[in-house]
């Protein structure tokens, strides 16, 4: 028994009707063997008189599949690089926010002392009430800045805490997994394409080729 997968025979019905078999245009199609052959092999594969020859007519579909997969690789490489750059940015942002927090705490402590001093002066009449009100406004502004900065620190820390068991940022791990999966598909696609080509063991002219 011989199968000819990888081609749609007699694709053009009018030509086939006019000229007969094998003249109606043969168009290449992609082929899947493992699942497609399983029912046949499960039923007849161990029969002593069963012999099956498989070969592909045209490597073009496999070449197209390989090119399509290879075209995706630069995009996923860039995705991994982008995720790694995002991690570096988050770490720098966290470091900057923590430094800003220390500065804001020192300024807020000084502002609150000034509020107390201007309050005492305004109460005794030794200082204008405007200074007291200004000191209060400055302290409230610094407190608001500190709260905003703390919220930003918490947000960055939350993003950096999303890690795998190996300690890698989840976004990086996901991008890397997609890239590795694609590269495995490329290796398989190259193997399928290579299987469509038969090389002679020595230089010369092929006079007979049997597929086994």
Cα dihedral across residues 22, 26, 28, 30: positive or negative: negative
Selected residue with higher pLDDT from 52 and 107: 107
Q: What is the pLDDT of residue 45?
A: 85
pTM summary value: 0.52
DSSP per-residue string spanning the chain: -EE-TTEETT--HHHHHHH-TT-S--EE-----HHHHHHHHHHHTT-TT---EE--S-SHHHHHHHHHHHHHHHHHHHHHHHHHHHHHHHHHHHHHHHHHHHHHHHHHHHHHHHHHHHHHHHHHTSS-HHHHHHHHHHHHHHHHHHHHHHHHHHHHHHHHH-B-TTS-BHHHHHHHHHHHHHHHHHHHHHHHHHTT----SSSS--------
Q: What is the pLDDT of residue 210?
A: 62
Q: What is the pLDDT of residue 55?
A: 65
DSSP per-residue string spanning 177-193: HHHHHHHHHHHHHHHHH
Q: What is the pLDDT of residue 198?
A: 61
pLDDT confidence band for 35 (50 / 70 / 90): confident
Mean pLDDT score, 141-166: 86
| pLDDT, averaged across the chain | 84
Radius of gyration of the chain (CA): 36
Q: What is the pLDDT of residue 81?
A: 93
Q: What is the pLDDT of residue 178?
A: 94
pLDDT single digits (tens) 10-33: 778 888 888 877 666 677 777 787
Q: What is the pLDDT of residue 19?
A: 82
d(CA 60, CA 8): 13
Packing angle of the helix pair 60-124, 170-194 (nearest 10 deg)? 170
Selected residue with higher pLDDT from 32 and 108: 108
pLDDT single digits (tens) 176-195: 999 999 999 999 999 888 87
Mean pLDDT score, 129-139: 91
């Amino acid at each position: 028994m011989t199968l000819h997968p990888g081609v749609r025979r007699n694709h053009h019905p009018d030509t086939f009707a006019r000229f007969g078999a094998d003249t109606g245009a043969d168009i290449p199609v992609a082929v899947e063997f493992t699942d497609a052959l399983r029912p046949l092999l499960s039923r007849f594969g161990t029969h002593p008189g069963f012999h099956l020859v498989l070969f592909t007519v045209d490597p073009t579909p496999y070449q197209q599949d390989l090119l399509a997969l290879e075209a995706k690789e630069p995009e996923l490489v860039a995705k991994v690089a982008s995720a790694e750059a995002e991690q570096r940015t988050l770490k720098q942002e966290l470091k900057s926010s923590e430094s800003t927090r220390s500065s804001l705490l020192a300024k807020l402590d000084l502002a609150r002392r000034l509020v107390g001093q201007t309050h005492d002066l305004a109460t005794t009449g030794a200082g204008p009430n405007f200074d007291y009100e200004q000191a209060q406004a400055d302290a409230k502004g610094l407190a608001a800045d500190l709260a905003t900065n703390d919220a930003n620190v918490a947000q960055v820390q939350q993003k950096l805490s999303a890690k795998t068991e190996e300690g890698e940022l989840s976004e990086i791990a996901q991008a890397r997994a997609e890239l590795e999966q694609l590269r495995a598909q490329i290796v398989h696609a190259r193997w399928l394409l290579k299987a469509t080509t038969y090389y002679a063991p020595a230089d010369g002219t092929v006079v007979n080729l049997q597929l086994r």
